[in-house]
Chain A
Amino acid sequence: DVKVTQSSRYLVKRTGEKVFLECVQDMDHENMFWYRQDPGLGLRLIYFSYDVKMKEKGDIPEGYSVSREKKERFSLILESASTNQTSMYLCASASGTSGGLSTDTQYFGPGTRLTVL
């Protein structure tokens, strides 16, 4: 079974803090994704990566950055957290194809509920 883990289930931070959300997958997937989920807005793609050290902006990248130094790990960074970044953050991975952007089925982690005070 595919396993996607996220470093924290719940996180509380203060405005202006730098926040790191970590995601690890154990299936040697090439593609990894970060979403945020808000009531009434569904899942919105923040960033994705189709290879180590590669990253692509999703639909709402403002205020976020990402890092993919190893294939199995994809980090989401909030450089200076703000209250409007309070949300549920979901990481996903997919097998994809080498060097391309096509993706296979995405498998999700359990989510990190971030509250910014």
Chain B
Amino acid sequence: GQQLNQSPQSMFIQEGEDVSMNCTSSSIFNTWLWYKQDPGEGPVLLIALYKAGELTSNGRLTAQFGITRKDSFLNISASIPSDVGIYFCAGLYNQGGKLIFGQGTELSVKP
């Protein structure tokens, strides 16, 4: 079945550093979504991407929908302590309408 590989699994960075994470798939997706989950909370949508090649920003966050439609990237610039959490990518599997989630990237930011 559909699988998403998200990497890295975890990151430990210094405040002010830039962060990059990505997701790859063996199949094509029509939509890519990036979520952030704070400890003990539900995931919150950060960025939605609907077209191959699309590059979208939300404050210090930038995400791209890969040209091949099989991957997506999320970058966070100038990280701050409140960026701590788990970041999930999700792809929309068109047949059946179910989202497929990556395993998550756990981000820790040292002040």
Contact = CB atoms under 8 A, between A and B. Distances in A.
Binding site secondary structure of chain A: loop
A110 B42 contact: yes
Given A40-B103, A42-B102, A43-B88, A108 B42 contact: yes
A100 B42 contact: no
Given A90-B43, A111-B40, A106 B99 contact: yes
A32 to B, nearest CB: 12
Given A42-B88, A50-B97, A100-B97, A113 B103 contact: no
Given A42-B104, A43-B88, A103-B92, A48 B43 contact: no
Given A31-B97, A48-B98, A105 B48 contact: yes
Interface in A50-71: 50, 58
Given A42-B88, A90-B42, A110-B42, A58 B48 contact: no
Contacts of B42: 4, 90, 92, 108-111
A14 B41 CA distance: 24
Interface residues of A, number: 26
A71 B45 CA distance: 22
Interface string A26-60: 00000100000000111101001010000000100
Contacts of B88: 42-43
Given A102-B94, A106-B45, A108-B42, 12 more contacts: A40-B103, A41-B103, A42-B88, A43-B43, A50-B97, A58-B98, A90-B42, A102-B97, A107-B45, A108-B43, A110-B42, A111-B42
Interface of B: 31, 33, 35, 40-45, 48, 88, 90, 92, 94, 96-99, 101-104
